[in-house]
């Protein structure tokens, strides 16, 4: 186990306080959460944000067969709420190469929000090249493959209450 449940809970509530302190109590936030990895983080984070809030969800997936090509991403934006003139907070599970967040930040900016900030639960420090600007980070971790608390391997392990390292056996199973 690399991040136990209690530590996740503490850090997420601290992130909530930080984010709430910089948000407008009148107009609140529009969250744009990236499916599916952010669902558990999102559910815990929003309950620490006592603000007027809308929640939008966006699927971002790699084209099959193009997984090694960071540019080949498909973003499903059809069901996003109106972002124009809103204060938007993008929520993602993990910043790795940065391909996903670069794409999502671009999609959000095109919709002319008043402001855009990004929160990630985990960041593999120094991996994103070019760097991606994130405003709030839960934990910096080493360049290892982790699962749990929403993060999957082959669709499994999202329901683990903690963040764990994926074992070599599980990777090749």
Determine, following the binding rule CB under 6 A, whether residue 147 of this chain makes contact with ligand 5GP: yes
With beta carbons less than 8 A apart as the criterion, state whether 95 and 132 touch: yes
- Least CB distance to ligand 5GP at residue 108 (A): 15
Is 96 known to be catalytic? yes
Using the minimum distance from each CB to Mg ion, give the nearer residue, 36 or 46.
Answer: 36
Determine, following the binding rule CB under 6 A, whether residue 146 of this chain makes contact with ligand 5GP: yes
- Least CB distance to ligand 5GP at residue 110 (A): 19
Could you tell me which of 124, 105, 119 has the C-alpha nearest to residue 41? 119
Distance CA 36, CA 15 (A): 20
| Largest separation between any pair of C-alpha atoms in the chain | 51
Using the minimum distance from each CB to ligand 5GP, give the nearer residue, 83 or 104.
Answer: 104
Could you give the 3-state DSSP secondary structure of residue 126? coil
Determine, following the binding rule CB under 6 A, whether residue 152 of this chain makes contact with ligand 5GP: yes
């Amino acid at each position: 186990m690399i991040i136990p449940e209690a530590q996740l809970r503490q850090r997420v509530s601290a992130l909530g306080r930080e984010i709430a302190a910089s948000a407008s109590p009148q107009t609140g936030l529009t969250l744009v959460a990236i499916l599916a990895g952010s669902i558990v983080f999102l559910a815990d984070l929003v309950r620490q944000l006592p603000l007027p809030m809308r929640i939008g969800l966006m699927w971002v997936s790699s084209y099959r067969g193009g997984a090694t090509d960071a540019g080949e991403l498909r973003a499903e934006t059809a069901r996003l709420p109106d972002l124009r003139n809103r204060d938007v907070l993008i929520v993602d599970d993990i910043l790795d190469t940065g391909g996903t967040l670069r794409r999502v930040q671009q999609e959000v900016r095109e919709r002319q929000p008043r402001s855009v900030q990004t929160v990630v639960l985990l960041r593999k420090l120094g991996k994103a090249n070019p760097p991606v600007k994130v405003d709030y980070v839960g934990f910096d971790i080493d360049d290892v493959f982790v699962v749990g608390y929403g993060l999957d391997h082959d669709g499994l392990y999202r329901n683990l209450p903690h963040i764990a390292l994926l074992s070599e056996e599980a990777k090749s199973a």
